[in-house]
Structure 1
Amino acid sequence: MSEIAAETNAARPRRRRVWLVAAPLAVGALAAVTVVAVPGRDHGDATPAAPTLSAWPATPTPSASTTPSSTPSMSSTPSTSSTPSTTPAPGPTDAADLLARAAKAAASSPDPRAGAAQFVYRKEIQDGARETKHERRSWFPVDGKSGGLILDPTMGNGRSPWPARLSDTVPGAPRTASFDAPTYEFVASLPTEPQQLLQQLLSFDRAKRVSGMTMTPKLYNQFAFADVQMIFQNIAAPPAVAGALMEAAAKIPGTAVVADETDAAGRHGVAVVGTNGTMRVALIFDRTTGAFLGVREVLLSDLPAASPDGLPPAGNPSPGAGDGKGYEYATAILTSTVVDKLEAEPAN
């Protein structure tokens, strides 16, 4: 954990513990940050133009609906799609069924077959955590052995290199990829059967992330959920693995499936919701294509108490929470694809 936290600070000065490559995990009074934090933002002024999604398992649209929404497809050449609807459409409200269908759609998306020397490119909106709504672009190496790059106007001079996760030249960098040092190649090697993947997520030894702290079953579950968040939010996953991850995440003890959540661009989707320290975290997916739309985080202090079964509280915070925005932090993935080199922009 300490290595990850140090890596995070080096990559993004002045940032809140949001998640760049994993999710910060504060347990009890201890704020244990799992992997890297991605810049959290304050809520911006202008609402961004409706985003164009391209490449990667597409993302969800309306609340609890089956109405197809345009979302990205995973391919090395991004494909432009029509503007997703921001208005929920009527339809079935069974959240579990919505997620199952979305996961199936994600798993059947085209596979970009990323090469070891390539980079996962992301363009997204980030909003909340006391920073203005803005656009962020990132390039993360598929094999984790070369450096990546983040272009973000809220970070220093707007450029932040991302240290290679498996490099021999980076002090303390692990030699083998794992949930502690994830890469796209590692994610691509994960089981595509949800129950097998769930077992692997829950059985991985994460004790070394926390110093002087007893790992309880609840903490293991929260770490597992945080690792799923890290993969979707920063690493990305091939279609078959993405579909399995969606279903496995919904089976992690302490998580729930919610039929309608909105991302930072106002798009509606089905979500797997868990708690991460002091936050209620929703991983939002397009209900038609299964594409990952983004993350929405709300302070638990702004929500009703958790139900007796321990599942994360449902509903939105009271008016005024998160500076009146209704959330503490949210993202919206506009483009997710594979490119050949740093700062390469996908073709329109």
Structure 2
Amino acid sequence: MNDRTSGPERAEREELARLLPAPAERDLPPGRHLHHRETLMRLIDQDGARTSARPRLLRPAVLLPAAGLALGGVLLTTLAVTGRDGVPAPSAAGSHARAEAPRGAAVLLDRIAAVAAEKDEQRVGDDQFVYVKTLQSENEGRFGGPVKLTGPREREVWMAQQPGPVIHVGLIHEDGSYYPIEVGVPDGETAVGYPAGLDRPTYRWLASLPTDPDALLQRLTTEITRDQDRRDTPAKDRDRAQDTFDAIGELLRETLMPPKTAAALYKAAARIPGVSVDSDAVDAAGRHGIGVARDNTRTGDRTTWIFNPTTLEYLGERTYLTKDTSLGRKGTLINKSAVLERAVVDTLREKPSAGKTSTEKASTEKASTTT
């Protein structure tokens, strides 16, 4: 493929190429892993110094976001709605409420976007399923009460890719049992199905999103506002910046993302005010990474998206309290997750074959051995 970049974009790519090591025949020793993270942080700091700085709500354990629990009825699933937990390592990086993300976070997200854009695209058929395996530690405490974390446990999801309204949305495998994700309505009324969209992000729908970051932000804002209007969400519970950050986080977690869409989402996130860099964050698999974080001032917690500091691959997420609340003391971990594998399969309950490389398995396994 011809490289059409030039000028500042080419310089940025070349700097990124120098930053990221060439693929190795064997895993990096821990010392080199730390070196690459520190190198990345220095580059972010240097870039920020050259340019003047410009001015969750707890989610359910089921894949579909909380915003999707009301569309022509109620989304029914046999999986209980819970929160999450773990051991926090709060970052010294603060939250900044400016016109967009602070320069350091913007630089990091631009680098992540550049890497995401260069990935090979894996086509997904409408009759196939996106398979994602994760580790998750979740809050099983009573709603509004003290956090009660589970240990990391494996979770597998299969998500249907049909573009039209779907009643059988997918399947979850957790704690040794399978739980169907189905659309239903109370009192035996006829189910109307769930369309592809922000609350059921199929590969085809993700590929249809604008790749211009500003247009993408506007599209996400429109979709979020529509959902909130439908649910009569009070104005005091709406925060455009936080709601957009949460929506992007939902899309990153249990989907298979077209490379151009992923790059656009990261660039869009760089335009969200209050986004900051977490220099060291740990996912549910114990992998250390560099984080992109935002403080939710409504709920008093911070959510961090965690990336491999060497490859900039998405690893997982964590959320912890930034102040004392009814859930616990400041620093209490509310949840954490780790993506272990993403792939495309043909049927429900099918797992990626050993001979077929999934999109993230190799890189995440390498990341886990370097920590």
Pick the TM interval, shorter chain. Answer: 0.5 to 0.7
The 8 Å contact of residues 271 and 283 in structure 1, kept in 2 or not, is answered as yes
Q: Find out whether 1:105 has 2:115 as its counterpart.
A: yes
1:173 counterpart SS class: coil
Aligned to 1:117: 127
- TM-score, structure 2 length as denominator? 0.58
- TM-score, structure 1 length as denominator? 0.62
Q: Distance in 2 between matches of 1:170 and 1:237?
A: 32
Deviation (angstroms), 1:178: 2.6
Unaligned runs of 5+ in 1: 1-15, 26-35, 45-63, 65-92, 304-316
1:328 pairs with 321, 331, 334, which one?
Answer: 334
Aligned to 2:145: none
Aligned to 1:89: none
Distance 1:257 1:171, change over 3 A: farther
Distance 1:160 1:284, change over 3 A: same
2:205 counterpart SS class: helix
Q: Distance in 1 between matches of 2:233 and 2:351?
A: 43
Deviation (angstroms), 1:172: 4.7
Aligned to 1:220: 240
Distance 1:212 1:294, change over 3 A: same
Aligned to 2:75: none
Point out the structure with the larger helix share. Answer: 2
- Within 5 Å, give how 1:264-303 maps onto structure 2: 264-276=284-296, 277-278=298-299, 279-302=301-324
Query: Which one scores higher on RCO, CA 8 angstroms, separation ≥ 6?
Result: 1
2:270 counterpart SS class: helix
The 8 Å contact of residues 41 and 133 in structure 1, kept in 2 or not, is answered as no
The 8 Å contact of residues 107 and 240 in structure 1, kept in 2 or not, is answered as yes
Aligned to 2:203: 184
Deviation (angstroms), 1:282: 1.2
Deviation (angstroms), 1:339: 1.1
Q: Distance in 1 between matches of 2:257 and 2:211?
A: 11
Q: Distance in 2 between matches of 1:227 and 1:268?
A: 24
Aligned AA (2:191): P
Q: Find out whether 1:148 has 2:167 as its counterpart.
A: no
Aligned AA (1:21): L
Deviations 1:24-78 (A, max 9, x none): 58xxxxxxxxxx997544559xxxxxxxxxxxxxxxxxxx9xxxxxxxxxxxxxx
Distance 1:99 1:287, change over 3 A: farther
Aligned AA (1:265): A
Deviation (angstroms), 1:296: 0.4
TM-align CA RMSD: 3.5
Q: Which has the larger radius of gyration?
A: 2
Q: Find out whether 1:347 has 2:353 as its counterpart.
A: yes
Q: Distance in 2 between matches of 1:341 and 1:254?
A: 41
Q: Find out whether 1:20 has 2:62 as its counterpart.
A: yes
- Within 5 Å, give how 1:62-211 maps onto structure 2: 94-129=104-139, 130-143=149-162, 145=166, 146-153=168-175, 158-163=177-182, 171-174=191-194, 176-204=195-223, 206-209=225-228, 211=231
Aligned to 1:249: 269
Q: Distance in 2 between matches of 1:198 and 1:150?
A: 30
The 8 Å contact of residues 164 and 170 in structure 1, kept in 2 or not, is answered as no
The 8 Å contact of residues 148 and 162 in structure 1, kept in 2 or not, is answered as yes
| Number of equivalent positions | 252
Deviation (angstroms), 1:238: 1.2
Deviation (angstroms), 1:253: 3.0
- Within 5 Å, give how 1:303-314 maps onto structure 2: none
Deviation (angstroms), 1:135: 1.0
Q: Distance in 1 between matches of 2:291 and 2:228?
A: 27
Distance 1:170 1:230, change over 3 A: farther
Distance 1:152 1:346, change over 3 A: same
Q: Percent identity?
A: 35
Unaligned runs of 5+ in 2: 1-57, 68-78, 88-92, 94-102, 140-148, 355-371
Q: Distance in 1 between matches of 2:179 and 2:318?
A: 24
Aligned AA (2:346): D
Distance 1:283 1:238, change over 3 A: same
- Within 5 Å, give how 1:19-38 maps onto structure 2: 19-21=61-63, 23-24=65-66
Aligned to 1:72: none
